[in-house]
């Protein structure tokens, strides 16, 4: 029952209906304090809404009762977020006094994470509008709507921007699509581990080749009986090719949630011709992997990573990635894969995964850390790339721990 409720809470969260999601999370937590997913989700919602105290409370409970790794990660960066909260509070009087340039400077610092992201984004948009910078105001509103597509303040501001003559209308479909992907991502904090790499595609498309009778060219002058034998052989081969799935065994794996075996079968039959009955069960297996398998396998990866068993962790995260397209965990999985490869000294793969993360999750939870890793790892490989990433840190995270002597040294080269 709690699983169904959590999925419902997650749907409300992705739609931006935070209060409804919080209410369901409370129900789940009252039933079972061991539900780490509900505790993390509740903390994230409070985090985005700007209530640091409530977010911290949820994550502390999750650490205390469940020793949850994600919750530990969220708690690491709260000191910096407290500075952002203070900066936001200091900004409100500036806005009232019409000191919009000073207010913008503070709010840009506040916007480096998603903490209090809705209030910060709306504040930035208001200030930019007052300065006549409508394009920048619109960019801020886009970010707010990616966090909550139903935010009243942002929608009203958007109408005003368009009314003031901004011809570049925001693509609502694009916003909704982005929010469904980006919102599911858990906002993590600080450095959990220090490593990254490209994901080895472990899908081995096992395509069974039709076993047709050998030397078909030689049957041209065979009698009718021989032709019938050849046809029979072909039909038997195709029959074997399309009916090798053990449905009962797969259903057993599904009922027992044996995700490893389910994954093996799905990989074996990927792109393979199957019967209608087989396809129905395979689709059921795929749905289970998408719904619950990805999180279970991800957790196994985290456990292996904690034990520094990087090879097994890579296998786990690689499998989880296959089913993560609609999961809030996808960004975490990409980061963790890179982390494992880096700790395995496979820096080529680490760089590829870090760059994938930068491309797919700009400005998200691990972004500043990954920029730093890329700058450092590229220093002795491609100094120009290293400097490019260093410049991004300087521009976006000048006041963070990542803009340090190491980065300044790289930029001087």
1-53 pLDDT, tens digit per residue, is 556 788 888 888 888 888 899 889 888 887 777 788 889 899 989 988 888 88
pLDDT at 159 (0 to 100): 85
- The answer to whether domain 1-170 and domain 328-411 are alike in fold is yes
Which ranges of the chain have pLDDT less than 70? 1-3, 165-243
CATH class, range 328-411: mainly alpha
pLDDT at 354 (0 to 100): 95
The domains of the chain are located at: 1-170, 328-411
Of 38, 45, 30, 40, residue with least CA distance to 60: 40
pLDDT at 2 (0 to 100): 59
**Measured distance CA(258)–CA(289) in Å, rounded:** 10
What sign does the dihedral 37-39-43-49 (CA atoms) show? positive
CATH of domain 1-170: 1.25.40.10
310-322 vs 330-343: helix crossing angle, rounded to 10: 150
User: b vs e for 243-273, b when ≥16 Cβ sit within 10 Å of the residue's Cβ?
Assistant: eebeeeebeebbeeebbeebbebbeebeebe
pLDDT at 388 (0 to 100): 95
Helices (H), 67-99: 69-76, 78-96
pLDDT at 165 (0 to 100): 56
pTM over 0.85: no
221-233 pLDDT, tens digit per residue, is 444 554 555 545 5
């Amino acid at each position: 029952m709690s699983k169904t409720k959590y999925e419902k809470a997650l749907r409300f969260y992705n739609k931006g209906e935070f209060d409804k999601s919080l209410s369901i999370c409370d129900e789940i937590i009252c039933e079972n304090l061991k539900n780490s997913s509900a505790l993390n989700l509740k903390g994230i919602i409070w985090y985005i809404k700007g209530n640091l105290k409530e977010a911290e409370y949820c994550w502390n409970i999750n650490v205390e009762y469940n020793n949850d790794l994600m919750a530990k990660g969220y708690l690491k960066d709260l000191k910096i977020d407290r500075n952002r909260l203070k900066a936001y509070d200091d900004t409100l009087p500036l806005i009232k006094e019409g000191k919009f340039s000073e207010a913008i400077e503070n709010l840009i610092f506040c916007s480096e994470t998603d903490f209090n992201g809705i209030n910060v984004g709306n504040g930035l948009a208001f200030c930019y509008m007052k300065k006549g910078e409508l394009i920048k105001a619109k960019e801020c509103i886009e970010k707010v709507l990616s966090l909550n597509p139903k935010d009243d303040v942002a929608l009203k501001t958007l109408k005003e921007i368009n009314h003031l003559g901004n011809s570049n209308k925001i693509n609502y479909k694009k916003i909704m699509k982005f929010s469904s992907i980006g919102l599911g991502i858990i906002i993590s904090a600080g450095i959990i581990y220090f490593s990254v790499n490209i994901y080895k595609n472990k899908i081995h498309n096992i395509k069974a080749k039709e076993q047709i009778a050998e030397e078909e060219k030689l049957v041209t002058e065979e009698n009718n009986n021989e032709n019938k034998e050849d046809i029979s052989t072909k039909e038997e081969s195709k029959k074997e090719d399309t009916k090798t799935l053990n449905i009962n065994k797969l259903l057993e794996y599904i009922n027992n949630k044996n995700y490893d075996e389910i994954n093996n079968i799905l990989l074996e039959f990927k792109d393979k011709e199957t019967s209608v009955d087989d396809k129905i069960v395979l689709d059921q297996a795929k749905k289970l992997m998408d719904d619950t398998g990805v999180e279970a396998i991800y957790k196994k990866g985290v456990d292996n990573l904690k034990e520094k068993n990087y090879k097994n962790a890579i296998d786990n995260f690689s499998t989880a990635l296959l089913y993560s397209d609609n999961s809030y965990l996808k960004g975490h999985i990409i980061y963790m894969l890179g982390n494992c490869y880096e700790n395995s000294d496979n820096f080529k793969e680490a760089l590829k995964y870090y760059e994938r993360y930068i491309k797919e999750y700009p400005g998200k939870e691990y972004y500043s850390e990954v920029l730093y890793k890329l700058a450092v790892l590229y220093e002795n490989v491609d100094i120009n790339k290293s400097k490019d990433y260093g410049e991004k840190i300087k521009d976006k995270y000048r006041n963070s721990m990542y803009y340090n002597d190491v980065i300044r040294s790289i930029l001087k080269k």
